[in-house]
Amino acid sequence: MAAKLAVVAASESPKEDRIVISAPNLQTVIFPIVGIAPYMQAKFAQKAANAIRAKHEAGSTSQGKKVREARNFKDDFEQATYRTANGEYGMPASAFRTAMIDVMRLVGFKMTLGKLSIFVEPDGFDATSGKPLVFITGKPEMNIDGVRNATGVLDLRSRPMWRNWSAKVRVRFDADQFTVTDVTNLMARVGLQCGIGEGRPNSRDSTGMGYGLFEVKQAQQRLAA
């Protein structure tokens, strides 16, 4: 019996490995962009987050009469601004990635594949929220404007606005799905059709105010991942 097993084992040849999944082919391209409309952002204030947390932790004891504090618009402006611990201003990197995936519907590309194929590399991280940021070149000004709350009540909001701005966006993409030209055209569509930030044309709540539009300059560099 042992001899028979030995013969069978000797007659079996090892199977050759068959590669069916290719290795990731990721490339990175850097896009200089220049704003052609004001850019406005509205970071969720850490102060507001702390107030909500305190209310939740207090439970039923927090149901007393609310004391209305004096409004500090300068503090609201600073709270709404994305900045690193070193003071660099930034835009959420996710804003560019989300916008690039959104415009894929215009060209018939599957957004589900886009989520796995395109990414934006951060320059730094927000000091309080930890959100990945793309650094923005320019100086913000405080913009105070009227808005309507969810209840329809008119209120004022203080937000940072950049009238003149630029940035360099590093996009990492799957080169088996896209070419550099594809990614360039996606970013160009984001800049001219979708926009980023508050009041952009592709706003979730309205048709926007035409803010957050930009032009894409020629890619500076292409790097192997």
Q: Quick: pLDDT tens for 56-90.
A: 444 555 555 566 677 887 888 898 999 999 999 99
pLDDT at 53: 44
pLDDT tens readout for residues 148-205: 777 777 778 889 999 999 999 999 999 999 999 999 999 999 999 999 999 999 988 7
Going 29 to 30 to 36 to 41, the CA torsion angle's sign is positive
Number of domains in the chain: 1
108 within some domain: yes
170 within some domain: yes
Q: Please say if the pLDDT value at position 140 is more than 90.
A: yes
pLDDT tens readout for residues 3-57: 555 544 555 555 677 878 889 999 999 999 999 999 999 986 444 444 444 454 4
Rounded Cα distance, 120 and 169, in Å: 7
- Residue pair 135/167 in contact (Cβ under 8 Å)? The answer is yes
Could you tell me the residue range of the domain that residue 87 belongs to? 23-57+67-224
β-partners of residue 26 are: 174
pLDDT at 20: 85
10 within some domain: no
94 within some domain: yes
| Distances in whole angstroms, Cα of residue 206 to Cα of each of 96, 128, 201 | 19, 29, 8
Q: Which residue has the higher pLDDT, 105 or 222?
A: 105
The whole-model pTM stands at 0.80
- Residue pair 183/171 in contact (Cβ under 8 Å)? The answer is yes
37 within some domain: yes
130 within some domain: yes
Q: Which residues contact 164 (CB under 8 A, 6 or more apart)?
A: 35, 138
pLDDT tens readout for residues 91-115: 999 999 999 999 999 999 999 999 9
Q: Strands 132-137 and 124-125: what pairing?
A: antiparallel
β-partners of residue 168 are: 32
